[in-house]
Chain A
Amino acid sequence: MENSHLLSPDSIKEKARIIRKKIIEMNSHAGEGHTGADLSETDILSVLYFHVLGVNAERTGDPDRDRFVLSKGHGAGGLYCTLSTAGFFDKSWLDTYLQADSHLPGHPVRQKTPGVEFNTGALGHGLPVAFGLALSAKKQNLTWKTYVLLGDGELAEGSNWEAAMAAAHYKLDNLIVIVDRNTLQLADRTETIMQLEPLSKKWEAFGFEVYYADGNDPEELLKVFQSLPADNGKPKLILARTIKGKGISFIEDKAAWHHRIPVGDEVYAAIKELE
């Protein structure tokens, strides 16, 4: 099925700006949140939900929809603000983020939130599940595609590489993996904690076709998604270079903002940068 928005790159950029504002407001209201991670993925999610993914907020259970798994489950806030903006639920829910029995828990829960496909939060789980989804589509001769967004820090989890090996073995060209390559994880630079580079070579060696994009540029991202060949027997990997905390100057590229929220004057300053 087709995406119900199919926005132009400029319109997607405007949506991303709105989503970033919501992230700042929601996280500061909740008093907690992974602000850096949410802002890092905003443009990728905007391109997916406003153009690429075959999804429709009115038909969340449609069996023909494309499936999206947020493997970096700590980016739940970014996903919620995107889903809300795309019409999956009322924006008033954002005020309940992290509250008791909220529809919007700290990590995605499919039983709680329309549009959420899978419960993540522990890292290294999304790719094996996405592999299973894509394989089930192949087994049943179904044309929907599976998209999964991985954080770069979680690539140290071995389960990713089990699934990567299997995705190539089963020739899953209906699987599109996106890595949010912001080079920061909870404690420090990814390369300081555990060297990932040469990252594209690793994916190539595992049998993926590797594509590159500025992960904070909706226009470039959209072009890459639209250029992906179908039916060539190879799973796809988009290495999306991003800036953690993208869009707010004092949050950008700082590990400290992985699990931090703007407080006091920071909220005003952040919103001002997004006006």
Chain B
Amino acid sequence: MKKGMRETMVDVMIEEAQAGTNLVVLVSDSTSTSKIKPFQEQFGDKVVNVGIAEQNLVGAAAGMALGGMIPVTANAAPFLLGRSNEQVKNDICYSETNVKLVGLNPGFAYGSLGPTHHSIDDISIMRGFGAISIYAPQDPRETANILRHVLHSEGPVYIRLDSVSVEDLAATAVGFLPGKLTVHRKGEQLVMLALGTSVHNCISAAETLESEGLHVSVVGVSSIRPVDYEQLEQILSAHETVLTVEEHSVHGGLGSLVAELIAERQLGTRLKRSGIDEGTFAPASPADAIRARYRLDADGIVASAKELAGKVKV
């Protein structure tokens, strides 16, 4: 059964508040964006709306953490990391405050609303800052597991929470362990590495490829920092070719992370990065159209995989 990532987040917040976790949710007029209403109805005093004022959203979250609470911010990723970039850097990361930043609807989820509302640089930005953990859950179950984990461990966190409704994946049933990659399928001809919920399209693509005789591995990456580099190296070394898939710029995101490891450890794995081309914005178009253009939907991933496997001429 498909479920929304944000609805899952709110369910966990309710469960945690009921259990006595001292959390407080900060929003910047983003009550509908965050789908927080069910939580607000039960725990109205645990929701702080600062208005459309993202710098104050993040600074206030840092202060509330210093005051002993566990703040979770919930607003659209582009505004969280764009407008309050320096607050995230200094007040959260450098000061190591116990704040959980949730960037909602990242990538080009806002589609036709355009690049003002897109966040194809959030992983890149966050990887530039020290001291903060970076997660991008793959499905509702992992969203819940990550949220429970971070609410019960000290330190700053950024969660890239995709907007889609998706089904739980069988491989996430083992639970969440920071750093670990999730192996969804094993094949020998190619490995696909996907950021967050992009793994669903990779799995669909892998099923199509399987029926055409092409056996590929699919690995989900939900923990960008920490990341288990040894596990990643093993996966990359076991394949001649890797295709990274992310609703993010190919600069600074998962594709970059993989490229760095291949280069530094001289793995020799051939790499193709699918994402938004370096130095460009995604267009103001429906998200599905953007996915199709940048080969981030299942059909596009199939086409890229076939090219890489030499099944069709590039």
Contact = CB atoms under 8 A, between A and B. Distances in A.
Contacts of A117: 66
Given A132-B64, A133-B63, A136-B68, A166 B56 contact: yes
Nearest to B96: A111
Contact of A122 (B68, B90, B96): B90
Interface stretch (B9-17, B45-53, B163-171, B264-272): B45-53
Contacts of B60: 128-129, 131-132, 135, 163, 166
Main secondary structure of the interface of A (DSSP, over half): helix
A248 interface: no
Contacts of B86: 122, 125
A259 interface: no
B68 A140 contact: yes
B152 to A, nearest CB: 19
Nearest to B46: A139
Nearest to B90: A122
Contacts of B46: 139
B183 to A, nearest CB: 38
Contacts of A133: 63-64, 66-67
A67 interface: yes
Interface in B179-193: none
B55 A128 contact: yes
B229 interface: no
Contacts of A67: 66-67
Interface string B206-233: 0000000000000000000000000000
Interface of B: 22, 24, 45-46, 48, 50-51, 53, 55-56, 58-69, 71, 86-87, 90-91, 94-96
7 closest Cβ pairs, A-B complex: A132-B63, A128-B59, A136-B67, A132-B60, A162-B56, A162-B53, A133-B63
26 contacts: A63-B68, A67-B67, A111-B96, A118-B95, A120-B90, A121-B90, A124-B55, A125-B59, A125-B90, A125-B91, A127-B59, A128-B60, A128-B63, A129-B62, A131-B60, A132-B60, A132-B66, A132-B71, A133-B67, A135-B63, A136-B67, A139-B46, A142-B67, A158-B55, A166-B56, A166-B60
